[in-house]
Every structure is written in C-alpha cells, then in structure tokens.
Structure 1
Amino acid sequence: MKRFGKLLLAAAASALLAGCASPALRGTGDLGVVIERASGSVQVVDNSHLTQLSRVNGLGDLSHASLVYSRDARYVYVFGRDGGLSKVDILAGKLVARVMQAGNSIGGAISSDGRIVAAQNYSPGGVKLFDADTLALLAEVPAVDEHGQPSKVVGLADLPGNRFAYSLFEAGEIWLLDAAKPRAPQVTKYRNVGRQPYDGLASSDGRYYIAGLYGEDGLALLDTWQPEAGVRRILPGYGQGREAQPVYKMPHLRGWSIAGHYAFLPAIGHNSVLVADSRSWQQVTQLAVYGQPVFVMAEPSGRRVWVNFAYPHNDTVQVIDVPSMQVIKTLKPGKAILHMEFTARGDAVWLSSRDDDKLVVIDTQSFATVAELPAANPSGIFFSWRAARMGM
C-alpha cells in the first residue's frame, strides 16, 4: 500500500510538471505570424500542416504593421502604427512585453547579433534602439536635416556588423547607423540622394542598400562595401514620356526581389516592373504587368517572381518567369491581396486576402490553391525563416 501511494505521488508530480511546462516542446522552423490589422492581433500559423496555432491580442493599431524575429525565432517584435513595440512569444502564444515608443511608427529591424531592436518612426521621426531581451531604451537618434528640420524615417534595414541603413523622406537623405556601441551609435549621413525616398531594401548579402524615390523616377543605391563612394542614382527616367497614374498604395521594396543576377523592382505610378542587372545596376528591361505593383517578390529558387497590385487591381497576382522575362500566370485568389510570403524552400506561397478575411495557400509548381484559412482582415505574413536572413 505504501509503495502504491508513492507511485500515485510520483504520477501526480509528473502531471503537475507537465502542466507547468510551457510552451510545448517543438521547433519554430515552420511557424509564421500573420498580422490581423482590424483587431490589433497576430495569428501564429504552422506552414507544414497548414494550421492555426494561436492568436495574440492587445497589440494596438496594426493598420500598418510589420515585425522581425529574434535570433532563435521564438519571439517576434511587432511594430504598430500607433508607435507600439510589442514582443510576442510565438511558442507560448502570448504577449511578453510592450512599450509605446513613438506617436506613429511603420517598422523596424533587428541587429546582426540579435541584441538590438531598431524602430523607425514617422512621428516624431528618428530611430530608437532597444534591448531585445527587455525592450529597455538604449539610444535615440533624431532625424533632422542640415537645417534642423525633422523628417520621417523609412526603409530601415539591418546590415552586417550591427549596422542599419535608413532613409529620411522629407530630407532626401540616407543614413548609415553603426550600433557597435548601442548606447552611443555613430551615424554617417548621405545628403541629396533624391526626392522623397519612400522605402528601402537591403540585398540578401547585406552589401547594397537601395532606396526607392517617390518624388522622381529612379532609385538611390549605397554600396556598403565602398561607403566612401557615396550614393549613386540607378534606373533614372523609367517613366519618361509617359504620364504617371494616381498612386493608391505605395509599392514596397522589401522581399526577395533579387533573383540571380537580376533585381526586380516596382515602378511607381506605372503598370510595370523594372529589371536591372544586380552587378552593374543598369536597366535590362521593363516588364508590363496587370496593375501598379506593390510587392515584387522572387521565389527562394529565384526562378519566378510574384507580383501583387494596388487598387483597383488588388484581387490579382501575376507570376513572371525569370529566364524568359515573361508573365506566365495570372491568378485571382481573393479580394485585396495585401501580402505574399513563401515557405522557406518555396514549395508554397501564402497570400493575405484582407477583404475576404482569409489566408490563401498556393502550390508554386501547379498554381493550385491547396488551403484557405480564416483570418481577421489579414495583411503582413512573416515566416520564421526570416530570423536567419539579413534585410528582412
């Protein structure tokens, strides 16, 4: 009887420990996070089993939001439109920390060593650096031009060596921030790079930083291997001789839009994708597409590039074959396709259909829809493979 009692006690202790063990033992390599913009929540999904795992609420205004992953891919840092910075444990499915760090924010990045989270801000402008573990403020770098006028910060991207590059919208500048000493960061400023840089892209090797220009045709490029050479203009005059259309949604440069030796970039105000040789940065061609591109994203293999579009063509996705430089597929997967995300090896692409309140999963070989999952006004989709990639 005494032995039976000991067994019962051991079983009870084991059950108690199992109940306390959180999160359950599993990896994060096939997980992802979906922004649910209307409800201020994020949804955690499993892209191997096409399932939804949890929903985390209380993240504020996510009408324009993005996120980055921690180095171990367990946590995501969500940047909300209201200036909130939230740290979410995707294994436990809960909010672990949140700070209100600005009045209006549109994104951020994480340092190459994973210890610093950087937020880019519209209001009051500037960049703030935070400790990735605690979200304690490390430093604040105001964004002011040479005349002391404030500027919105856009296009923040991480670079090797705990550096960040970003653009100043009103000032027309690109700044390179060295956060080797995160409480005393050093900034190199490049003036007069072009009118109204609106977004930025770091190449996957961290060498190039490219800023798109809203105020004029062309882009601005910084070679971080040769920063002393300054910023040079590429792809000027792509709209020459043609009237630009009204821009209903600003295009995004983020994504794997560099495929092989080619860079695929959206043309502002035109129904076309610009193609440049990524070695010389000279224009190769300009591809006509269905509408004004928003995201121009290459599959992990680089063989195909997928494009979604601004209103009124935001129910459509087109696929470009890189060797032939031809559009080979036009899909109508849902209303208001806002974001696309490939699985790590590119077997599928997930699309957010905001106005249909769903996620659409498409097989990239057959172009067949393999699943649809409910989501509340979904926008950004971010898979955990981003934790190991630069510029994401």
Structure 2
Amino acid sequence: MTLNALPPLLFASLLALLAGCQSPGAPAERAALRGTGDLGVVVERATGSLLLVDTTEQAVLDRIEGLGDLSHASVKFSRDGRHAFVFGRDGGLSRVDLLTGEVTARVMQAGNSIGGAISQDGRLVAVANYAPGGVRVFDSETLAPVAEIPATYRAEDGSRQRAKVVGLVDAPGNRFVYSLFDAGEIRLLDMSGESPTERRFTAIGEQPYDALIDPTGRYYLAGLFGEDGLALLDLWHPERGVQRILPDYGRGEERLPVYKMPHLEGWALANGSAWLPAVGRHEVLVADEADWTLVDRIAVQGQPVFVMSRPDERQVWVNFAHPDNDVVQVIDTESREVVSTLSPGEAVLHMEFTPRGEHVWISARDSDRVRVYDTRTFEVLAELASESPSGIFFTDRAHRIGL
C-alpha cells in the first residue's frame, strides 16, 4: 500500500509523527520557545536598565540596558505581551522585545516626559510630555511619528503657554485622556478617525497632578494638588462635563508637608468602594463607588503613595512617602482595618501583584532588592538583587484598560 492510499486521518497522523523526528537539536530549540504571560520587568532607575523577570519562577532572566533616564519611568505592553514600551523621564521612548532582550526601536521625542499609553487596538503609543508640554503619538511597530498635540492654553496674562501633561491614559474607542497641570484642564483626544480630534474641559480644578481611569474605561478621575477633591469625567456622557467629587475631605484641617505626590494610577476599586491616597495626610480615603461620596478615612502610618487592590479585592496594599517609606501596610477591605505592617526594605517605591493575586512583588530602591510576598501568609518567598529598583510591571497589564 502506498502512502497516498492511506485513509486521510491516518495519513495526517503519520505526517505529524515524521515531522517530529528531527535533528537532536530540535527538542532544545522547542524548549527555548515560551509564552510571555508570566514575564515582567523591573525598572532600575539609577542605571537606565530593566530586569526581565519570570513571575512563576520568581527569577531574573536578563538585564536590558541603554534605556536612558529612568528616574520616573513607566512601562506599557503590546497586545501580545511580547514588547515593552519604556517611557523615560528624559523624553526617550523605547520598544523592547522581551523574548530576545533587545531594544528594537528608540526615539528621543521630547525633553521631559511623564509616561504614556497604548491605544485600544494596539497600533498607537501616546506619550505625555512636560517639555515641551503636549502629547505625541507614534506607530507602535516602528515608533514613527503619527501626531503631535501641543497642550496650549491661555494664561491669566493673556499669553499663550504650553502646559505640563499628566495623567495620560488610554480609553475605549482608540481615545486618550489626559490633564494639564498648569491650565486646570482635562482633554479627550480621539485617534479613531483619519485625523486627531480633541475635546477640552476647562476649569476642572487647581493643578491636576495625576489621574486614572477605572477598569471599565468609563470614569476618568484627576487628583487636584492645589485644592481638596477630585475631578471626574464620565466618558459615557462627556457632554455632561466634569463633576467635582469628594470636595470637602480634610477641609479645615492643617495639611502636612507633601514629600512625594501620591499616585492615583495605583488606586484601588475594591468591595464596592474606591480607595484613594489623601494628599498631605496620613489617611486612605474610601469613597462609595456608586455616588463617589466619602464613606471612611482610614488612618495609616504615613502619607500614602500607592493604594493598590489585590486582584480578588479582599486586600488593599499601601506604601508611603518619606520618612515612612520603609514599610507597607495591608488593609482588609471588609473590616477596613490595617491587618499587617511589613518591612520590605529602604525606600519602597512600587508594588505589583501577580495576575491572580497570590503574590506581590515590592521594590526597595535603597536596599537594592525586590521582595516577593505571599499575600495570604505575608511570608517572604524570594528576594532578588536589583540596582535601585523602582517600577515593577507584569505583562498581564497588556489586557487591562489604563495600565
């Protein structure tokens, strides 16, 4: 009987078997193939490098260098989780292949940058710039420029100025939302058409310093440094304008010196509430997610910087500004009580949960280490050496709005 005379199913099976009988090197080559779902990076701010890490093995795989000033760097991921886009403080935008450990593209696109975002379809990368103030948009495959949107506004003296852009996030519909620190504005940039269109919301409050978008992509909230409260934009109904929420928290109380601006990008939505860092106070604020009214103020050890929810929403983890930045506190979202105080090292800068929340990675810049904790027992599972580590970013962020 010839091969062609075999039944089709048996013939296909035989071909698959023969294809597997390759040279001795083939199994090793196949073993080198891997997915990207358990990869992540740790920013090494002092050396302009990234540590490529495996979150399953809790191990360092590689160090990627030559990324410029990473003193306030953030990282976003491509849709397939293979490429990391690194936004440097010096205006550098780099595209890194996580499987090869190579910088595949890099542009110096501004003089001072503060982060960026990737569009819903993954085709565009937007960068928020302090100097010159504005947003620049690039092709995610090549980093070729696509659009430049200056953050111009009219100052009190009538002159035209450019504002620092903060709080840039992606929104559904290939849109980006951001705030203008100097102008007190929120702007909605739509990149879904043939040319960019921009919608402006003015007089939203004094000095918006950071912002976030909720996991559904509906609500954009800007924190206000110049006054108490936050500014809320409902992206389902932008025609309703910006709403002021939590306008009275801390009103009449003396504010402490602010040693580090809190990061609203690390806020938490948990157990039906929004958990936010209070500016200049040793408190975590709890607001009702339905109407944004303040329902509780939880005393903590220092001025919160990141207030982050474990993925199952049972816990909120909090780190702090100087001089209390050597501890992390854990709040139970049901009892609203601090249930643990940990000491990961000197100058804790960032935390990142594994996708299902069983572990959390914490960077301690001045101790040159990253610690991995079991979030149920608070046991230290691993300790990784790192040069001045700051931000930690895992590839599951590629599939989440605003991250």
Query: Considering the TM-score relative to the shorter chain, is it more than 0.5?
Result: yes
Separation of aligned partners in 1, 2:278 and 2:256: 11
Q: 2:253 aligns with which of 235, 239, 242?
A: 242
Aligned residue for 1:128?
A: 136
| TM-superposed deviation, 1:330 | 0.9
Is the aligned partner of 1:173 residue 2:185? yes
Runs of 4+ aligned residues of structure 1 deviating over 2 Å after TM superposition are 13-19, 21-24
**Residue in structure 2 matching 1:27, options 7, 10, 35:** 35
- 2:344 matches 1:298: no
CA distance in 1, matches of 2:250, 2:355: 35
- Aligned partner of 1:377: which letter? S
Match of 1:39 among 30, 47, 57: 47
| Letter aligned with residue 185 of structure 1 | P
**Structure 2 partner of 1:9:** none
In the comparison of the two structures, how many residue pairs are matched?
378
With structure 2 as the length reference, what TM-score do the two structures score? 0.91
1:274-326 Cα deviation digits (max 9, x unpaired) = 11111111111111110000000000001110000000000010011111111
Q: 1:23–1:92: 8 Å Cα contact kept in structure 2?
A: no
2:126 match: 118
Deviates more, 1:247-256 or 1:41-50: 247-256
Q: Which residue of 2 aligns with 1:66?
A: 74
Partners of 2:37 and 2:165 in 1: CA distance: 31
Q: Give, as a single letter, the amino acid of the residue that structure 2 aligns with 1:140.
A: E
Identity of aligned residues (%): 60
2:398 is paired with a residue whose SS is: helix
CA displacement, residues 316-352 of structure 1 (integer Å, 9 cap, x when unaligned): 1001111111111111111111000000000000000
Which has the higher mean CA deviation after the structures are superposed, 256-265 or 289-298? 256-265
Task: Tell me whether 1:223 sits opposite 2:234 in the alignment.
Answer: yes
Tell me if 1:270 matches 2:281.
Answer: yes
Q: 1:89 to 1:155 in 2, by over 3 A?
A: same
Q: Which residue of 2 aligns with 1:200?
A: 211
Letter matched to residue 29 of structure 1: G
Contact 1:256 1:299 in 2 (8 A): no
Following superposition of structure 1 onto structure 2, how do residues 1-392 of structure 1 map, counting pairs within 5 Å? 24-147=32-155, 148-181=160-193, 184-255=195-266, 257-392=268-403
Kept in 2: contact 1:23–1:91 (CA 8 A): no
2:9 is matched with which residue?
none
* Structure 2 Cα separation of the partners of residues 301 and 364 of structure 1: 11
Structure 1 CA distance, aligned partners of 2:144 and 2:383? 39
Equivalent AA in structure 2 for residue 205 of structure 1: T
| Conserved? CA contact 2:267–2:306, under 8 Å | no
- Superposed CA deviations along residues 135-168 of structure 1, whole A, max 9, x for unmatched, are 0000000001145221000000111110111000
Q: Which runs of 5+ in 2 are unaligned?
A: 1-21
The answer (yes or no) to whether the contact 1:256–1:300 under 8 Å persists in 2 is no
Query: Residue 376 of structure 1: CA displacement?
Result: 0.4
Check whether the contact 2:217–2:401 (CA below 8 A) recurs between aligned residues: yes
8 Å Cα contact 1:245/1:269 also seen in 2:
yes
1-side partners of 2:341 and 2:137: how far apart? Answer: 42
Aligned AA (2:184): G
Deviation at 1:188, TM superposition (A): 0.5
Aligned partners of 1:24 and 1:91 also within 8 Å:
no
CA deviation vs aligned residue, 1:353-387 (integer Å, no higher than 9, x gap): 10010000000000111110000000000001000
Using structure 1 for the length normalisation, give the TM-score: 0.94
Contact 2:271 2:334 in 1 (8 A): no
> 8 Å contact 2:267–2:276 — kept in the other structure?
no
